[in-house]
Structure 1
Amino acid sequence: MVATNGGKKAVIIPHSMGVLYFLHFMKWVEAPAPMGGGGGPDWCSTHIKAVMNIGGPFFGVPKAVGGLFSAEAKDIAVARAIAPGFLDNDLFRLQTLQHVMRMTRSWDSTMSMIPKGGDTIWGGLDWSPEESCSPRNRKQRNNDTLANEDETGNGFSQTKHVNYGRIISFGKDVAEAPSSEIERIDFRAVEPHHSTDYADAMQYAFVSLRVNCVANVDAVKGYNVANTTCRDVWTEYHDMGIGGIKAVAEYKTYTAGSVIDLLQFVAPKMMARGSAHFSYGIADNLDDPKYQHYKYWSNPLETKLPNAPDMEIFSMYGVGIPTERAYVYKLSPLTECYIPFQIDTSAEDKDDGGCLKDGVYSVDGDETVPVLSAGFMCAKGWRGKTRFNPSGIRTYIREYDHSPPSNLLEGRGTQSGAHVDIMGNFALIEDVIRVAAGASGEDLGGDQVYSSIFKWSDKINLQL
């Protein structure tokens, strides 16, 4: 493109997961063969004017955890709350959700969306960068005004402290309790292939009996059930046994760090494949030769930006839509033949404007990617010369406050901040066209911020 356009550099516009893959590409194209494309350290500087990332999940998304753990997320949880008689019946869970799980666990690209950065980024048992969830009375602000606002004056309603760092909690009481009051049993010390006591064996026998009954009843009704043991539609959960399943629930709550261990425990085959291509940590020393391997290149916390001081990087994303951040789970009624864990849709905040609904805690975002994941690197991690951005590539935050269409004639809307619909947002399109026509980030007005991304970023203690 550069050669055919008189030497004018390209403007790259990745969206969603493509943002991670273009981050990977910038390392690949520089790296020597056979690991990379052999373009050399100046390739990006020579060929790229700007990278305008749209809805970029730089740190992954919590909803990937829900999808891989139980084949559900907010949409399924909401549907279950609306129509529990259908979505909780045996046939649906046996014939649908388990097939969905088996299919999605074969999509290795999904593992690139598992949250990165652990507790340092997403928070621990008793803290998280975000503390509020419901957008109220937004106004555009810049970094200076955000730094001078208190948490109750940032355009959000604040009802109570939320432990967003607990991405999975077994029970609403666990999600809200002080960590000192939570008694936990380490699931990693349990052998998942064997039941642990007589009660487990009896429960196994009861479940097997119940499944036989369900299969026979369904057969009478004319439904085609695979067999009486469910193994034709089973997943890696089948190998765990009741003992392993109970151990997962008894660990009570999982942060972004322990979620990785959880997935390795419940889906070892999937995670073994994924670990060959993706990594979820934070580099202590980016000059360590191990980070020359491609598995680290899509993680912004384990790779350096290219040597391209004249290039610009934008984080462009929607705000103002409740976005999945953490989940309240429970054991399924029949753990041996169904997916043994499900979102507890009865868990809700009673207060108006609460952060918990149908078992899902929400924060500000674009309905798919939380603000923290989309904005932190351009707000702090890459801002100025840092160890992740040694050449000082200029970075900009461009947020677009969600405004839904006012009527059906507007289609998906021209001011939408939703993860996919933002591609039709007129303000975003104008920003892209202006940069493609030669404008810089400063020409656009610099940062355009409606959320508390700078405040939240300041709470993250990351070595820069």
Structure 2
Amino acid sequence: MSDLLDAFDYQLPEFNFEGLKYDSMLPADVKEHFDKLFSDSRRWFETLDFQVGRSLAAEGAKPKHPMILMPGIISTGLESWTTSEDEAAYFRKRLWGSTSMIRNVLFDKEKWVKHLSLDTVTGLDPPGVRVRAAKGLDAASYFAAGYWIWSKIIQNLAAVGYDINMIYLAAYDWRLSMYNLEERDHFFTQVKTQIELNTKISGEKTVLCAHSMGSTVALYFLKWVEQEAGAAWIDQHIEGFINIAGTMLGVPKAMAALLTGEMRDTVQVPPLLSYLLERFFSSTERAALFRSWAGSASMLIKGGDAVWGNDTGAPDDRPDAQVTQSHIYEYAARGNVSEDANTPEASQSVKSQKFTADQALPWLMQHAPSDFQKMIKTNYSNGFERDPKQIKRNNKDHTKWTNPLEVALPNAPNLKIYCVYGWGKPTERSYWIRTGPNAYSDHTPGIGGNHTDAGKDKHLRNHTSAFPYLPTNRIDARINFEDAVPKVESGCRLGEGDGTVSLISLGSMCVHGWNLKRYNPAGIKVVTREILHQPDEMDLRGGPKTGDHVDILGAHDLNDVVVRVAVGRGHEVEEKIHSPIREYAAKIQW
């Protein structure tokens, strides 16, 4: 018990654990088993963490390029800077990214939601609340005590000689739109300044190393700095961009979360836990919170049917598929006759509906408040541009900078890109949806803050009349087709990927899109390195061969790529493809 408590980032001094006689309570063989469990884990932490770095150090590797790490969505810790009397107890406390977060959610949910939600009109903090990203390496080294994120990469860089002076973790408030990251926090200006400082101190160019949504943030930064300082600045200051499990063409998971407030993680829990979750923090409340985070909307799928498929098929459909993956949302036939999913459609009063990517985005917008619709329109674009002249014009439009299908990579021929991602883990690709009772889509208490009416002095809750009363939507967890191709689990149709991001989003730009001159006019070299998901069943995080979306940050192959690029041996990183991504990408309507 003492070893277990030591793993947490806060202790429980009110309990007198010393007074408990564990030796007398536990049989000797059980006690020996737990002692071995903790001692083995401790030895794993002491040895394998540094193994990649130590091996390269033994070969003579030394620090060369300063490193800037860009975390993914939800992996940066957020803390309160609110100082009002009611909120002072939260000052500098982690509201996201620590075990204390769980305590806050369980015992003070309303206040936690108030702090974490954004003003749905401005996309910034609601009045009276200030929440900011934590800073330093600790901002994203661990999500909570014992659950590492970037710590393995930091440890392996340290093993070849890196320290805090050469590693900068570019923590950011992942809830904000890219535009507001600069407007409120001057985030991209800070990254640019840090890179210039790196060059001045070390005389070497910097390597950007980004994960998940962080790769989209990095792409936005490259376009932003190209407009601010020119492509020559990038050639002079940035050695390479390591794109780890990047959400380049979006994530179907975001399509489900923003429509329903649900995803595979919430619908596959046991029925009792699902009931408790719905009573405690309903899917409607979750959807409203997600929609207030403009940053999460940057992961909506891009390219439409040309990428994700039409009614006749999708690029990533398997040859033995019984149905296509292209229907992002599918509503089974329902009605007054029967709620049984296996009842023939002809007997139902409500017929089935199917939505491909081109139809799914408008459908999502129709079922969201107008504030959310405006936020999407003013910050993001999810289209597919093939005209080089228009792409050149798009390079000056910040709403296009998160979509690699509408803008070109910077004209910086000396830049190098390394795409590293996992493959081999079932990944949600499309969804069975069912409708629930009607609700006011824009009136979820406690979320969205108060907004100033332009014609009045007082603050009023925002009220949208565009879609005031709509049916709610839920993932239809009753639908399971275990033996089908593709497999359906709890209403989630599974495809290929790293467990979170679909393969077609992870690799299509890397193996094909960025080989096209209109998207890569400088001919920047792009190396793709897939990591086959081969988890260690005895390791809760998958071990050194995992390809899981988050756990890949601890994989040996990934760490080897990162350290080699950092020490100036990026030319040794070889392309390695395990999946059929080249075949899938070739079927996209480029």
TM-score (ref. length: structure 1): 0.70
Report the CA distance between 1:439 and its aligned residue: 2.0
1:411 positional shift: 4.9
CA-to-aligned-CA distance 1:62-86 (integer Å, 9 cap, x gap): 010100001001112212xx31x55
Residue type of the alignment partner of 1:166: H
Q: Does 1:113 align with 2:299?
A: yes
Structure 2 residue matching 1:262: 3-state secondary structure: helix
Question: Are the equivalent residues in 2 in contact too, given 1:305–1:389 (CA < 8 A)?
Answer: yes
Alpha-carbon contact 2:395-2:408 (below 8 Å) kept: no
Which one of the candidate residues 410, 419, 425 is aligned to 2:549?
Answer: 419
For structure 2, the 5+ residue unaligned runs are 1-197, 335-344, 441-469
**SS of 2:253's equivalent?**
helix
The alignment status of 1:71 with 2:272, answered yes or no, reads: no
SS at match of 1:105: helix
- For residue 387 of structure 1, report the CA deviation from its aligned partner: 0.3
Task: Please list the CA deviations of residues 65-108 of structure 1 after superposition, one character each: whole Å capped at 9, or x if unmatched.
Answer: 100001001112212xx31x55358x925852222122111001
Query: 1:199-278 residue pairs with structure 2 within 5 A?
Result: 252-267=353-368, 268-278=370-380
Task: Look up the equivalent residue of 1:373 and give its one-letter code.
Answer: S
Task: Report 1:241-390 matches (<5 A).
Answer: 252-267=353-368, 268-288=370-390, 289-332=393-436, 334-336=437-439, 340-351=472-483, 354-383=486-515, 385-390=516-521
Tell me: higher relative CO, structure 1 or 2? Use CA pairs within 8 A at least 6 residues apart.
Answer: 1
- Judged with a 3 Å threshold, the aligned counterparts in structure 2 of structure 1 residues 360 and 27 are, in CA distance, closer, same or farther, namely same
CA 1:98–1:286 in structure 2 vs 1: closer, same or farther (change >3 Å)? same
Distance in 1 between residues matched to 2:331 and 2:541, nearest whole Å: 39
Q: CA deviation at 1:162?
A: 2.8
What SS does structure 1 have at the residue aligned with 2:543? coil
Whole-angstrom distance in 2 between the partners of 1:273 and 1:18: 20
Equivalent residue pairs, number: 349
Partner Cα separation in structure 1 for residue 267 and residue 506 of structure 2? 24
> For residues 16-41 of structure 1, what are the alpha-carbon distances to aligned partners after superposition, in whole Å with 9 as ceiling and x for unaligned?
1110111011111111xxxxxx2112
Which 10-residue stretch deviates more, 301-310 or 286-295? Answer: 286-295
Give the match for residue 536 of structure 2. 405
Q: Shift in Å at residue 418 of structure 1?
A: 0.9
**Partner amino acid, structure 2, of 1:59:** L
**Residue matched to 2:202:** 5
Which of the numbers 458, 461, 464 marks the counterpart of 2:586?
Answer: 458
Structure 1: which 5+ residue stretches go unaligned? 32-37, 133-150, 152-157, 174-181, 184-245
What residue number does 1:444 align with? 573
Deviations, residues 380-411 of structure 1 (Å, cap 9, x unaligned) = 0002x520001111111111111223324x75
Report how far residue 354 of structure 1 moved.
Answer: 4.8
State the identity %. 31
Q: Over the residues paired in the alignment, what is the CA RMSD in angstroms?
A: 2.5
Tell me if the contact between 1:335 and 1:341 (Cα under 8 Å) persists in the aligned partners: no
For 1:135, the equivalent position in structure 2 comes to: none
Distance across 1 between alignment mates of 2:530 and 2:422 = 6
The alignment status of 1:428 with 2:558, answered yes or no, reads yes
Q: Quote the Cα distance in structure 2 between the aligned partners of 1:250 and 1:94.
A: 33
Residue 310 (structure 2) aligns with: 124
CA contact (8 A) 2:213 2:247 kept: yes
Cα gap change, 1:336/1:4 in structure 2, threshold over 3 Å: closer, same or farther? closer
Partner SS, residue 544 of structure 2: coil
TM-score, with structure 2 as normaliser: 0.56
CA drift at 1:251: 7.6
The residue type equivalent to 2:509 in the other structure is M
CA contact (8 A) 1:70 1:339 kept: no
Distance 1:95 1:421, change over 3 A: closer
Aligned residue identity for 2:581: I
Post-superposition Cα deviations, 1:101-132, rounded to whole Å, max 9, x if no partner, equal: 22111001111000000000111112101123
- Counterpart of 2:398 in structure 1: which amino acid? Y
SS at match of 1:53: strand
Q: Write the deviation string for residues 333-355 of structure 1: whole angstroms up to 9, x where unpaired.
A: x3448962211222222427752
